[in-house]
Structure 1
Amino acid sequence: MTNTLVLDVDGTLVDSNYHNAVAWFRAFRRFDLTVPTWRLHRAIGMGGDKLVTAVAGEHVEREHGDDLRKAWEAAFEPMLAEIRPLEGAHRLVASALEQQFTVVLASSGKRHHVDHYLKLIDASGVTSVSADDVEESKPAPDLVEVALRRVDGSGRAVLIGDSVWDCEAGRRAGLPVVCVRTGGFGEAELREHGASAVYEGLDELRADLTDLPMA
């Protein structure tokens, strides 16, 4: 039975959180709604199925939810080519595989975005789960649970992410969570939400791979 790393993608492996926030800002403006970018940034990591309600309320979700998600996608697509891997992303995945970890990606993003990111970090053969594979995105535990089933993760596992939403999803799925600060959340806040450890970046985390908490 191998140990499993369940890896978040946006903000953890690729530097896309701020692009996502700007795309959501532009989507809301198409409906004459202004949501401060700082508030949008703090919601990145949860899926679009939950974000509209979280930042603008249930009435906006009822009136504009699906149209806002389409507007976000239209605003985000042109930025896709600008997104770069975070330092150490390929090295982390490669080292984990070399050390006989099972690696699976669990992203609240769309499938074609995740496929693009897999190519960016040179990990095209790694199993991944996207928002298209579940009914509810993070902070619901669905993505983590489906990811573990995809790789028969019946052994010990840990979730690696960058946001409080990853912490919540991991907790609800019964996994310890280790975070990196690359998504813009502070160490104290991540620990308050349940992160067992917080690293400045992926190379620091990679150095501790064999010592990560597993459940």
Structure 2
Amino acid sequence: MTRAAVFDVDGTLVDTNHLHVTTWWEALRQAGHRVPMHAVHRAVGLGSEDLVAHLLGDERDKDEDDRLGAAHKALYGQYFDRLPALKDAGPLLRRLHSDGWTVVLATSASGAELSALRRAIDADDVIAATASSDDVEEGKPAPEPVEHALELAGALAERSVFVGDTVWDMRAGRRAGVRCVGVLCGGIPRADLVEAGAEAVYADPAGLLASLADSPLA
């Protein structure tokens, strides 16, 4: 039976979380919102509308959501040609593929952004499918992105593992019924990832690859 290794992308395979923090902070600043960078950092991993709602609250002018999202996309898009993969991101996916795992991505990114991320990872030949924000009605921490990734892989939740870097990833994976692995390279503390559902936590893709034999992906 198929077993799926499902991966978040931003902050998990590609070192982009702090780019998102800076560009969201600037988009908000340009619109007159003073939001601390540490608050933006904790919201990274949510979809665009959910991130704005999390930071500005339900009393915000919701007509502004699309403008804020577009401003962030334009600012972040300046980095598309130089997004840095985290160490051993590609080799980790290749190793899992060779070990018999079906590798699937589950990300809030889509379109040109997703293409840029995949170029950075440079492992398209072993990525079976991608569940993007275009494919689901609700993003993380709802389970739908992970569940859709499992559908694409044809895998059961109990035979699958989700790797991510935020509490939103861990909550989504837990709700989808998969085992969850956290990585610290997105900047979220180990204790927060564990509390949100991580069964094991590693420094980054290189750390997970080095400890693969003793991990939930063994």
Q: TM-score per shorter chain, which class?
A: over 0.9
RMSD: 1.5
Counterpart selection for 2:204 from 171, 181, 201: 201
Quote the residue 2:152 is aligned against. Answer: 150
Counterpart CA distance in 2 for 1:162 and 1:44 is: 10
Runs of 4+ that moved beyond 3 A = 207-214
Question: Which consecutive residues of structure 1, in runs of 5 or more, have no partner in the other structure?
Answer: none
State the one-letter code of the partner of 2:172.
A
The CA deviation at 1:80 is 2.1
Deviations 1:15-71 (A, max 9, x none): 000111111111111211111111101111111120001011112252411111111
**One-letter amino acid of the counterpart of residue 45, structure 2:** G
**Residue deviations 1:168-213 (CA, integer Å, cap 9, x gap):** 1011111121011000011111111111000012122123435443
Alpha-carbon distance in 1 for matches of 2:155, 2:212: 17
Deviation at 1:82, TM superposition (A): 3.2
Match of 1:16 in 2: 16
Counterpart in the other structure of 2:162: 159
Secondary structure at 1:128 match in 2 = strand
TM (normalized to structure 2)? 0.93
- 1:92 touches 1:203 (CA, 8 Å); kept in 2? yes
Q: For the Cα contact (< 8 Å) 2:83–2:116, is it kept in 1?
A: no
Aligned to 1:31: 31
Distance 1:188-1:49 versus aligned 2 partners, 3 A rule: same
Question: Following the alignment from structure 1 to structure 2, what is the Cα–Cα distance between the partners of residues 56 and 177?
Answer: 29
1:133 is aligned to 135
SS of aligned partner of 2:104: strand
Q: What one-letter code is carried by the residue in structure 1 that aligns with 2:84? A: R
Deviation at 1:136, TM superposition (A): 1.2
TM, length-normalised to structure 1: 0.94
Cα distance in 1 for residues equivalent to 2:103 and 2:27: 34
- Distance in 1 separating the partners of 2:132 and 2:61: 22
Percent same amino acid among aligned pairs? 40
> 2:23, 2:75 within 8 Å by CA — same for their partners in 1?
yes
Go from structure 1 to structure 2 and tell me whether the alpha carbon gap of 1:61 and 1:156 turns closer, same or farther (over 3 Å shift). Answer: farther
Corresponding residue of 2:106: 106
Counterpart CA distance in 2 for 1:24 and 1:41 is: 9
Q: Secondary structure at the match of 2:59?
A: helix
